[in-house]
Structures are given as structure tokens and as C-alpha cells.
Amino acid sequence: MASVVVVGTQWGDEGKGKIVDLLTRYADFVVRFQGGNNAGHTLVVDGKQYIFHIIPSGILYKDKTCVIGNGVIIDPGVLLKEMANLAEKGMTVTPKQLLISANAHLIMPYHQRLDVARENALAKGKKIGTTGRGIGPCYMDKVGRVGVKVGDLLDMSLFADKLQAAVEEKNFVLTRQFGAQPLEYAAIIDQFESYAAQLAPFVGNVSVALDQARKAGKNILFEGAQGTHLDIDHGTYPFVTSSNTIAGNACIGSGFGPAHIDEVIGILKAYTTRVGEGPFPTELPEGDVIGDALQQKGHEYGATTGRRRRCGWFDAVVANDAVRLNGLTGFAVTKLDVLSGLKKLKIATSYRVEGVPYGYMPDNIRKARMAEPVYEEMDGWDAELPNIRSYEDLPAQAKAYLKRLEDLTGVAPAIVSVGPDREETLLLRNPFAG
């Protein structure tokens, strides 16, 4: 048995959903450990597209147990809608297939209202680029010890007390500070009583369940959302998400002991993208021929927001930061096929900031914005890759590119994706095989 963590190594949108789907074949449990419905996993299976925001993508396998850990924050309306959408496609989700931590926090209507109000109040150039899903305000309440947990839905008296206090406080801020409309307690309590009835059978103790699974010799796969450089502590703050996205949070966000983690696989897009605001040293600006080509060929739009992703060359500085922060044991390189047809490829090996060399992302956000990439150049390849099914059949230049990424980071690819479909993936080393 093995326990494997999968994390994004850039600014999210690296293609984690597809890699998690592949590795789920070898797992018994699939655990989501952080984030909320501000992230999306897109899968293409047999030509059909599935987008998940909260439920682990392993739900497409009927014999797997999917787990939503305590580190996740849950919008119950979105979760239930995902379950309903699956049911419409003939995949009814049962409590045997899905376990939700009683300690996960709930995104409430006032969180969403506050999220939008705060972002709108920021001056141009100061905006974070929030999705408006209520993620930040929910995590603020969690840390402030005034949050509402999933387990509170099983005790509506406790839930009602917490809600009453929260609505009074949030309405004061909404109306006085932002001039927004207040929320009605009665409408919220009625809505969440309905949610409670539907979700109660799925709620339990995730830490205990995972410990039992480990002792029974089960394979456990942990999946994160977003990417390493959106981590609240280690990312390009304040242009980050509101949770810890790195591998260490797999244990905190699920109640699983760190000594039991065997592998950490980092999802690494063959180029770099970012959605929203924040530093992006290797960005090719909108209107750049190559940047626009990557955006179009890679279908670089956010699965959650539909926003255009900013595109740029591969950044080895970002990748090396991810290696260090996550303790990566392997890479899953995605969207290698998108680079086909480019005559020359660039890789940023370091930065210069006001003439000073940097081998890591500057901690100072002003300096991070000023970082100028130092590039090296490699030959590209013309052949299209989606029909390739073995590493040996890749063009020589593509293999050289992968080898260079390995040399620069010290981490070898375990998986290489050569197209969007489930079958267009080369498994070089199975992390569950030991």
C-alpha cells in the first residue's frame, strides 16, 4: 500500500484533474484536502467533459471512496449541484462513495457577499482577482474561530445560534462599511435546513476513516487545489488563495500523519500560466504571437471562472521552489503537446531584480513584479503528440526538453501528458508501485 500526494507546482490550472484521474485507478481512497469551489478540475473521458469543483474527480470510479477533508471549505449548494449533475448522467453518489469531514467549514451566503464587496472596494492595481466565491471570508472566519462547520448541520440548534450571531455581525459590515444590502436570517436557515437533510448521511470523521484505511493496506491518493505559488504562506502574497496549497497541508487538511506519506507528485505544465492578478516573470503579454498560440491551442480558460489564463514560457525558478516546498519525488508534465510546432522554446533558469541574480521567487512582492527572467533556448519539434503512447516514440527534441526540465530541477518525470483525453498519458513510473 502507499499514500501519494498530488499538488500543483505553478499557479494552478496545471492539469491536476487528469493526473488524479489516472492515479485513481491505483487508489482505494481519493482525498481532497484544501480549497473550495474556486478551483476546478476538468476531465475528458471518452470524449465527454466533466468539471468538478469540490467532489474529488475519483468519483467517476464506482469502486473508489472519495473524501472531502477538514481543510476544504464547502459551499453546500455547489456540492449538491455537482451531485445532482452526476445523477443526471447516471452516476448517483452514495455515502459509500463520498465521505465529508464534519470539521470542514461551510461557505455561507454572507461570505460570498463580503468577498465581492471587498474586492470591489479595492483600487485598480490593488485588486486580488478573487473569484467571488466567498473563499477568503470563510477562511477568515475559520481562523477567527467564528466559522460554521459541516458537523454543525447535524445539530440545527447549534447551527442556528452560530448563524444568528454571524448574520448580525456580517450585516453590520455589509451595510455600514460597504453600503450593501443586508442578508435575511430566516431565508438562510430555511435553505441550510434543506442542505442538512441532504448531506447528513455523508458526514463523518475523515481522520479515523483514513487511519483505518491505512491500517487495512489501502492505497490513498491526496489531491490539492490551486498551485504551490498560490499558497497563503509561500506564494506570491497577497496574490494568492486563502489556504495552504503545498503538500504538507495534505496531512493537516485530512488528519493524516505525515510519516505515512510515501510520494509527492508535482503537476508541472510544460509552459506556465496564471489566472488573475499577481507577478508572472515569464509572461508573454496578450497580443504576443506565441503567447496567444499557447492560449488558443492549450484552451487556457479557467474551469471555474472562464477567465483567460495568462501564458508564458516554462519557469524553472517556479518549478524549483515547488520542489523545495513540497518535497517532490516526481513530476507529472502536462500539455507537452501544446508546444508542438514551435521552432524554439525558452526556459527561465533564474531571475535578475535590479541587477541582482535570484534563484528563487523574491519574497518582496515589489521585487517579484520586477523580476526579469534569464532564459536559455532549446529546439522545438513539429510532430503532434496525442497519438503517441510510449516515451520512446516522442520526438528527440521533446525528450531533450523533458530531460532539461529534470536536470534543472533534480526531479524526473513520472508521468507525461501528450493530449487532453484520459488515454493520452504516458505513465513512466507508477508512484503506487513503490
Length of the chain, please? 434
> Is 337 designated active site?
no
The rounded distance, in Å, linking the Cα atoms of 179 and 120 is 12
Which of 27-66 are b and which e, b meaning 16 or more Cβ less than 10 Å from the residue's Cβ?
Answer: bbbbbbbbbbbbbbbbbbeeeeebebbbbbbbbbbeebbb
Beta bridge partners of 373: 351
CA 168 to chain centre: 33
Torsion of CA 281, 285, 290, 296, to 10 degrees: 110
- Which backbone phi and psi does 138 adopt, to 5 degrees? -65, -45
- Closest of 57, 54, 134 to residue 91, by C-alpha: 57
The residue annotated as part of the active site, out of 13, 141, 321, 337, is 13
The rounded distance, in Å, linking the Cα atoms of 312 and 296 is 13
Beta bridge partners of 31: 67, 222
The residue annotated as part of the active site, out of 21, 41, 105, 141, is 41
DSSP notation for 324-347: HHHT-SEEEEE-GGGGTT-SEEEE
CA angle 318, 330, 373 (to 5 degrees): 20
Q: Which DSSP symbol is given to 150?
A: G
> Is 41 designated active site?
yes
Beta strands 29-32 and 220-223: pairing type? parallel
Q: Is the peptide bond between 238 and the residue preceding it cis, with omega within 30 degrees of 0?
A: yes
Residue that the C-alpha cell 516514440 belongs to? 393
The rounded distance, in Å, linking the Cα atoms of 430 and 126 is 43
Are 99 and 68 contacting, i.e. CB atoms less than 8 angstroms apart? yes
Are 59 and 86 contacting, i.e. CB atoms less than 8 angstroms apart? yes
Contacts of 66 (CB under 8 A, 6+ apart): 29, 30, 31, 32, 55, 56, 58, 59, 97, 98, 99
- Closest of 227, 191, 214, 243 to residue 35, by C-alpha: 243
Contacts of 434 (CB under 8 A, 6+ apart): 2, 262
Residues classed as catalytic: 13, 41
